[in-house]
Chain A
Amino acid sequence: MNVKITDYPYRYKAFNLNVFSQLPVAGLAEHECEKPDIIIREGVIPEAITNPLNKGVLFQAGAEEFLLKVDGLAKFYVQKGETITVEITNKDSGDDISAFILGTVFGALLHQRRLLPLHGSAVLYQEKGIVFSGNSGAGKSTIAAAFLEKGAQLLADDISLIGFNNNEAQVIPAFPGMKIWEDSLKVLGKKPDKYNPIRKNLKKYLYPVETFHTKEAAISHIFIIGTHNLETFEIAGLQGIEKFNALKNNTYFFRGMNKTGILEKHFQLCNMLAPKVKITRIVRPNGGFMVEKLAEIILEKLAEN
């Protein structure tokens, strides 16, 4: 990508991609580099995509373009997996912009690059790449943070990008931060007032991680975490088509890809990953997050191999 370097004062690395940005992005690791893989710039964005193939309440998507409109804050336009244009509609938005860039916007961009982003947090623990996946509220970040306390290194939070190298499936390091809610910080023995909220009016904080692993790590296990209103833990190892379905269902922003022509490649990637990884579904009690008990179960499953 040919750009004028001086136009982009902020340089980062995320998901092993060099990012040149005209805006600061809270949470990303600064990284000096000469050529960008991705640029983030400010600009005027059209109200709508011409002939969108897929639409949701806040987004429109085509195969190579994606538009996200957050009323009263900003619009985001992602093209060809390379360019993110941000039109700020509220001058007081501050770091709020970063929260959306690191979430839906990056998710759409990774899909445009025909990659495999899973909805989950990932750590490197005893040389094993482990992804904790599941719906919002399942406790992905909290269990990942608990593993950091046990000596693991962070690979990713919320979006775990999977890559392939010489037939090995790997987790690609994302950026050295996590988004953690106030009550989870307390469960982890941390004081919320030491951290910056990811958005002004949200009690969800950017939790910087010093033990960030900056290289790809071979993926060993994926734990799909769910919750139910029973007091018991349910644990099930997945096999065959169940694994494919689990990967598909736990893809980050899967709905955003519908009808955009991206799905076929995505299913190929899920098929490539499924035989290379152990997938275990764990359903935990909803009442009170027994993070240590969950960690114990995961450690037992890891020790089985």
Chain B
Amino acid sequence: MSNKKNIVWLASYPKSGNTWFRIFLTNLLEDGDEPADINALYPTTIASSRSLFDEAAGVPSSDLTQDEVERLRPQVYRYMSEITSETIYHKIHDAWITLSDETPLIPGDITKAVLYFVRNPLDIAVSFAHHSATSIDKAIDMMNDPAFAFCSRENKLHNQTRQRLLTWSLHVTSWTDRSGLPLHIIRYEDMLTDTFNTFKKAIVFIGLNYPDEKILKALEFSSFEKIKSQEQEKGFREKAAKSVSFFRKGIAGDWQRTLTPEQVNRIVSNHGNMMERFGYLPT
């Protein structure tokens, strides 16, 4: 197989700004006269998509164990890379992990770039609880659990293949410290407060060259108010089934009005080092 470096990974722990960026990217690439439909985003197929796997593998993932699927995923990405000359974008919530034979889940030889979205875990806890229609304490349990994975129950066919997220800190360090991939970190908080520069740096990093006015238009079309109103009007296909809405507040610091001191302590005691690195420790 040829090794073209043509995959851009949009990687993040959930609720960290990934979807907002994908809506912006759609508006930028499609360059329409009105905001892009949030239910018809530019192909940024999630890397854990079952259809993606089934098409590339030639054997339905539903006839394979979760471990077998995981072992084959690097080959699936190499195959997708090989069959196109275009740049492929994949959203991904898996941590950057290595498989039992020490090969990485995400092959470096086909990776063009990684945009890694990071957000204050205190705010993630609030948002993740809403997203998962669970309590904040349970959301914190998930963020603190080194074995945490999406779609891991083995008694049913999930619409995606298993994704190991690990803890929030391990997720961040796996991508930003261990992967060795060409990676640009985007803080969610900077997306909110220094929007233009943050988004512009991100697209420049992945090799897109657009004039400022196009970037500004794409940002306008993907403003929180616009995407929230689209969701209220037509719904959002990517919303978790049990949650009320995907786009909720789109702000930083909500935790200060929501988390109890005990909940803050549970997060800080588990993730303090990583939080300090990104300026997230409460003062």
Contact = CB atoms under 8 A, between A and B. Distances in A.
Interface of A: 56-59, 68, 70, 99-100, 103-104, 135-137, 181-184, 198-199, 201-204, 227-232, 253, 255-256, 285-288
B65 interface: yes
B93 to A, nearest CB: 15
B65 A199 contact: yes
A287 B241 contact: yes
B191 interface: no
B62 interface: yes
Interface stretch (B155-163, B170-178, B259-267): B155-163
Nearest to B234: A230
A100 B59 contact: yes
Classify the interface of chain B: helix, strand, loop or mixed: loop
Contact of B241 (A59, A70, A286): A286
Contact of A103 (B55, B63, B75): B63
Contacts of B59: 58-59, 68, 70, 100, 103-104
Contacts of B75: 57
Nearest to B240: A229
Interface in B64-82: 64-65, 72, 75-76, 79
A58 B58 contact: yes
Contact of A104 (B50, B58, B238): B58
B155 A203 contact: yes
A125 B136 CA distance: 48
28 contacts: A57-B57, A57-B58, A58-B57, A58-B59, A59-B58, A59-B59, A70-B59, A100-B63, A103-B63, A104-B58, A136-B54, A136-B60, A137-B50, A137-B158, A184-B156, A198-B63, A202-B63, A203-B156, A204-B157, A228-B237, A229-B236, A229-B238, A230-B235, A255-B58, A286-B159, A286-B241, A287-B240, A287-B241
Contact of A230 (B76, B79, B239): B239
A232 B239 CA distance: 13
